[in-house]
A and B are shown apart, each in its own frame.
Chain A
């Protein structure tokens, strides 16, 4: 009997307590963050890019499963990591997704897409870039 009373009052108190705290709590988070910020920190610390890709991809699966919203920067971060591990096509896809989800990202994503293209040309096909340059030089001298 005493136990029931104690339990009941405990239940009442905890209900009252949650109501009180609910007043301060407000709305739910807008985004399902998963490990985004932790993976960004891992990137800054120079940890394994492959592990970061795996963690972010796993996070995306969890977001999809729960129907949550992917936070700003998530797809862009993943795109940069894909470029780092030599998957440029995947990078373009992730940057496009970032733009689709957040049109505010468009100017910067377009800036990166333009510059990454030039970068890969100078990095991986230096001779081709030089040829192209001499080509334009020849063209302009006409």
Chain B
């Protein structure tokens, strides 16, 4: 009896393990993405729909690693932000409205990533607080203006440590690096959101880029 119960518990455990890796499937049309084959990505300062003013730069600072690990060259985000500032563009909304031809002319990138942060911060509930970061993104071809991919992702405090695989490893590495810094909870959760949103090799995700050994395997 006890043994049967243990077997049951063990197999349930294994099923749950795999369930952790599964992501709900979603049909995405990759035709434009595959014919565009971008090599470099310009990440624009994210639009912020949350009340926390730190959202734009918290997300922007953490967008490089998932895209680069997916095989793309990511233009240096802080320099890109400075270039916009020197041209009088300090508001993400204005930056997102810049014509793609102008972006291509200045930055020489193949594609631009437009991110919108929907939620960024902590909600205090009766017994605990939950920190949640939710964002959406679209990748646009800077030659044609075509949307190559779009997606959404979110993460919350209690889920930030449970990410398995490469994503989990990279996130924990990023946070270990951050141990000595007084980083806020939202910034750490944003790391997970960013990896979930911008990593290749997951259903509905971006495709692997030319620098990845898995390029054109998807």
Interface, chain A (partner B; CB < 8 A):
20-21, 23-27, 29-31, 33-38, 40-45, 71-73, 76-77, 80, 98, 102, 104-108, 111-112, 115
Residues of B within 8 A of A23 (CB): 21
Q: A26-B166, A34-B177 are in contact. Are A108 and B108 (CB under 8 A)?
A: yes
Asked whether B91 is an interface residue with its Cβ less than 8 Å from the other chain, the reply is: no
Residue of A nearest to B170 (CB): A29
Asked whether B83 is an interface residue with its Cβ less than 8 Å from the other chain, the reply is: yes
Contact indicator A21/B164 (Cβ below 8 Å): yes
Contact indicator A30/B78 (Cβ below 8 Å): no
A–B pairs, 16, beta carbons within 8 Å: A21-B165, A24-B165, A29-B170, A34-B177, A37-B62, A41-B58, A41-B183, A44-B57, A71-B64, A72-B75, A73-B64, A73-B79, A105-B76, A106-B108, A108-B79, A108-B106
Closest CB-CB distance, A77 to chain B, in whole Å?
A: 5
Q: Please name 4 further chain A to chain B contacts, defined as beta carbons within 8 Å, in addition to the given A80-B76, A80-B82, A108-B109, sorted by A numbering.
A: A37-B174, A38-B177, A40-B61, A111-B106
Which of A21, A30, A73, A105 is within 8 Å of B211, CB to CB?
A: A30
Contact indicator B73/A41 (Cβ below 8 Å): no
Q: A26-B166, A33-B174, A41-B57 are in contact. Are A73 and B75 (CB under 8 A)?
A: yes
Which of B74, B82, B86, B201 is within 8 Å of A26, CB to CB?
A: B201
Contact indicator B166/A33 (Cβ below 8 Å): no
Contact indicator B170/A76 (Cβ below 8 Å): no
Residue of B nearest to A76 (CB): B76
A39 CA to B174 CA in the complex, in Å?
Answer: 11
- Within residues 122 to 169 of chain B, which ones have a CB less than 8 A from any CB in chain A? 164-166, 169
Asked whether B192 is an interface residue with its Cβ less than 8 Å from the other chain, the reply is: no
Contact indicator A38/B178 (Cβ below 8 Å): yes
Closest CB-CB distance, A93 to chain B, in whole Å?
A: 15
Q: A42-B181, A108-B108 are in contact. Are A76 and B79 (CB under 8 A)?
A: yes
Interface, chain B (partner A; CB < 8 A):
14, 17, 20-21, 39-40, 57-58, 60-62, 64-65, 68-69, 71-83, 86, 106-109, 164-166, 169-170, 173-174, 177-178, 181, 183, 187, 201, 211-214
Residue of B nearest to A98 (CB): B76
Contact indicator A105/B177 (Cβ below 8 Å): no
**A-B pairs, 9 with minimum CB distance:** A107-B108, A73-B76, A104-B73, A76-B76, A41-B61, A44-B57, A104-B40, A24-B165, A24-B21
Closest CB-CB distance, A117 to chain B, in whole Å?
A: 14
Which of B21, B77, B169, B173 is within 8 Å of A40, CB to CB?
A: B77
A59 CA to B111 CA in the complex, in Å?
Answer: 29
Residues of A within 8 A of B108 (CB): 106-108, 111
A27 CA to B177 CA in the complex, in Å?
Answer: 21
Closest CB-CB distance, A113 to chain B, in whole Å?
A: 12
A56 CA to B142 CA in the complex, in Å?
Answer: 31
Closest CB-CB distance, A59 to chain B, in whole Å?
A: 9
Residues of B within 8 A of A42 (CB): 181
Residues of A within 8 A of B83 (CB): 112
Contact indicator B64/A37 (Cβ below 8 Å): yes
